[in-house]
Structure 1
Amino acid sequence: MTTPVIVTGASAGIGAAIARRLSRAGHDLVLTYRTGSDRAAAVVAELERGGGRAVAVPADVASPADLRAVFDTAETTFGPVFGLVNNAGAARVRPLADSDDALIRDLFGANLFGALYGMREAAARLVPGGAIVNLSSTAVHTATPGLGVYLAAKSGVETLTRVAAKEFGARGIRVNAVAPGLIDSPMFREGKTDAELRRFLAQSPLGRLGDNDEIAAAVAYLLHPDSSWVNGQILRVNGGVA
């Protein structure tokens, strides 16, 4: 399997884990990053050492022109694109009353508009039978205080996922989303006391946090032919957190 897949925001974290998983599955990869060119280059080098093919492209997913350029690069480098993973995003903890216009623009741009522009471009450029996977968040349903703007954007991503699944179906293009729960990472642990970490762990029926590879596995499944009858779904990968 050498069908090309675009993964946005793939220089670190969940995006990099998705890239590794898809490369092992045989996909050629076009990885985007907004910052961190050194990290993106390191991910590409790692994939190539493992026998994969990948390129990294700087892009602001809130820019339709940048996303068009990403698809152009994918087609020129590897051929017609099979899949798109809208992983790029940003989150800030800020009460609604303190969310200024700049923060709202940034979070809607990175999360909602990035997915919207990506799906719009993919509608015309994915091969028939291709697949799109968007990244949402389990917190859309837990309505976590301080994340209102971020979650409003991710709620929009989930709605667009269901709409696009119906609109793109005539070309056999499936559209689904993965909504991660709490993921163990240095960023998550930073600034939290042991008591706070225990409180988060207590929310999980499995008694632990998830990891990036578990999210990557879900994304890989939704791009695989084994999920050929899965369309318009939000897969909540959260260990059972309500």
Structure 2
Amino acid sequence: MSDNTPRVTLVTGGSGGIGRAVAERLAHDGHAVGVHYAGNKARADETVAAITSAGGRALAVGGDVADEHEMSAVFDAVEKEFGGIDVVVNTAGVMKLSPIATLDLDDLDRIHRTNIRGTFVVSQQAARRVRRGGAIINFATSVRRLALPTYGAYAASKAAVEAMTPILARELRGKDITVNAVAPGPTPTPLFLEGKDQATIDNLAKAPPMERLGTPQDSAEVVAFLAGPARWINGQVLFANGGLA
């Protein structure tokens, strides 16, 4: 792919939180963006409208990340609209906080279906379709290092994402496709804020040396680096957490 050719990116979970910030940042960098959503088309349409009103190109595409047939159709739609795919960013994820001893196992299955199987399904499609010179960017979590109580199921699911990432990078040897993961620290998205009181949020904000929570834009900045100039970073997990861990 020529350096002058506009890139095409698919962002799973692109309708809100970190996913929306990633979609908007990459569109600002000149990418055409497939904004994936699971159930909230209206939010995806808002993201698309924000991108197009700023002069970018975007398309809302819906599907269950853990369903290989639905995600194959999502990739088809983005390729048909924009001519191919160069970057895939896996931000879609779910979280349920509970001590391991009391976690409802149905919640465990739901977390792992989206975070592990979903990442695997999307990565599988990406490995088959991303063009030379492209990038696959997964999302892990800094909680895996912090070992915070009640995060057992979520951290376990993201540890699986960490494990998959360097393996896929090695499996794509010779294709000029990088595979990395971003591991954000505490970031005040709806996923993070649910179930937390203000004291907990304040304590987490004070924990990093930077003495603040992360923002979706902080994570988007790292994604933009991995999706563009960072061609010599491959098979890595980048912890974007202000020095928290």
TM-score range, shorter chain: over 0.9
Q: How far 1:122 moved relative to its partner?
A: 1.1
Is 1:203 the equivalent of 2:218? no
Pick one of 222, 233, 236 that aligns with 1:233. Answer: 236
Structure-2 separation of matches of 1:178 and 1:115 = 13
Structure-2 separation of matches of 1:22 and 1:59 = 21
Letter in 1 for 2:236: Q
Q: Deviations over 1:71-121 (max 9, x none)?
A: 100111101110100110000101212223321221011111111111111
Q: Select between 181-190 and 82-91 the one with higher mean Cα deviation.
A: 181-190
Structure-1 separation of matches of 2:190 and 2:36 = 22
Pick one of 156, 174, 181 that aligns with 2:185. Answer: 181
Structure 2 gaps, min length 5:
none
Letter in 2 for 1:233: Q
Aligned length: 241
Letter in 1 for 2:74: V
Letter in 1 for 2:123: M
Q: Is the 2:84–2:131 contact (alpha carbons within 8 Å) kept by the matching residues of 1? A: yes
Structure-2 separation of matches of 1:162 and 1:86 = 15
1:26-175 equivalences under 5 Å are 26-175=30-179
What percentage of residue pairs aligned between the two structures are identical?
39
Q: How far 1:27 moved relative to its partner?
A: 0.5
Q: How does the TM-score come out when normalised to structure 2? A: 0.94
Partner of 2:9: 5
**Secondary structure of 2:86's partner?**
strand
Structure 1 gaps, min length 5:
none
1:6-25 equivalences under 5 Å are 6-25=10-29
Q: How far 1:203 moved relative to its partner?
A: 1.2
Q: How far 1:38 moved relative to its partner?
A: 0.9
Structure-2 separation of matches of 1:125 and 1:110 = 21
**Secondary structure of 1:129's partner?**
coil
Q: How far 1:67 moved relative to its partner?
A: 1.0
Structure-2 separation of matches of 1:219 and 1:48 = 20
Pick one of 223, 226, 229 that aligns with 2:227. Answer: 223
Do the aligned partners of residues 173 and 115 (structure 1) sit closer, same or farther apart at CA in structure 2, a change above 3 Å counting? Answer: same
Structure-2 separation of matches of 1:105 and 1:191 = 20
Letter in 2 for 1:25: D
Structure-2 separation of matches of 1:23 and 1:188 = 25
CA RMSD for the aligned pairs?
Answer: 1.4
Structure-2 separation of matches of 1:110 and 1:147 = 16
Structure-1 separation of matches of 2:238 and 2:134 = 18
Letter in 1 for 2:233: V
